[in-house]
Amino acid sequence: MIVEAEAYGGPIDGPWPDSAAHSFRGPTPRSAVMFGPPGRLYTYRSHGIHVCANVVCAEDGVAGAVLLRAAVIEDGAPLAAARRGPTVAPVAFARGPGNLCSALGITLQDNGIDLLDPHGPVRLELGVPLDAAEGPRVGVSTAADRPWRYWVSGRPEVSAYRRSPRAPTPGASD
DNA sequence: GGTAAGATCAGC
DNA sequence: CTGATCTTACCT
């Protein structure tokens, strides 16, 4: 169950100009999936170490995606534990975008797959609407104050907020 | 062809 | 606060 996510937009001339998005400067080999049809998985390598996963949300041809930042592991906890290591508490199995992919076994190989395909290796199901809080996104050095991070209040699985050390003074305009 | 920064995380 | 670790995108 996803309990934390962040929205990312696209190029300057699109509906959601977003300098913090990989798609900001137009399609590239890495960000191509963000410009494709919705319901697909966009994965990328972060800081040379981790894998992060997004759900493409905008119509085909328009860049827009949601980064999955934290989740509750409702089933398969032993497998998640094996993937995360013996020192990690269950509440932290999928806390943070890199950890989430680690716990779920999502890799760069999964980039571009259809999350709505019932036979696919990674699938997404719509759940009940949850009451979400909103605030600035984590780790981005531009558009740092845009409140495009959403999380379920009070959930211990939600990751801690960390502003990028490279981000300008809080309150500065985009 | 070189290089700096990065949608992160864990350990000190 | 810092190091790990490597890909991407931008610069020349």
DSSP string, A116-132: T-TTSSS---------E
Protein residue at shortest CA distance from C1' of C8: A30
- The answer to whether residues A137 and A118 touch, using CB atoms and an 8 Å cutoff, is no
CB A29 under 7 Å to nucleic chain C: yes
Tokens of A116: 């709505």
Protein residue at shortest CA distance from C1' of C6: A48
Q: Is A11 left (phi over 0), alpha (psi -120 to 50) or beta?
A: beta
CB A160 under 7 Å to nucleic chain C: no
Determine the distance between A165 (CA) and B11 (C1') in angstroms.
19
CB A80 under 7 Å to nucleic chain B: no
Q: Does residue A174 surpass a pLDDT of 80?
A: no
CB A141 under 7 Å to nucleic chain B: yes
- pTM, 2 dp: 0.96
Contacts of A55 (CB under 8 A, 6+ apart): A38, A39, A40, A41, A42, A65, A66, A68, A115, A124
**Minimum-distance nucleotide, CA of A46 to C1':** B8
- The answer to whether residues A30 and A104 touch, using CB atoms and an 8 Å cutoff, is no
Residue A51 confidence class, pLDDT cut points 50, 70, 90: very high
pLDDT tens digit sequence for A94-140: 999 999 999 999 999 999 999 999 999 999 999 888 899 999 999 99
Determine the distance between A114 (CA) and C1 (C1') in angstroms.
40
* Numbers of helices and strands, H then E, in chain A: 2, 6
Give the three-class secondary structure for A141: coil
pLDDT tens digit sequence for A130-141: 899 999 999 999
Q: What is the average per-residue pLDDT within A58-73?
A: 98
Residue A84 confidence class, pLDDT cut points 50, 70, 90: very high
Residue A172 confidence class, pLDDT cut points 50, 70, 90: confident
Contacts of A142 (CB under 8 A, 6+ apart): A19, A20, A167, A174
Q: Can you give the C-alpha Rg of chain A in angstroms?
A: 16
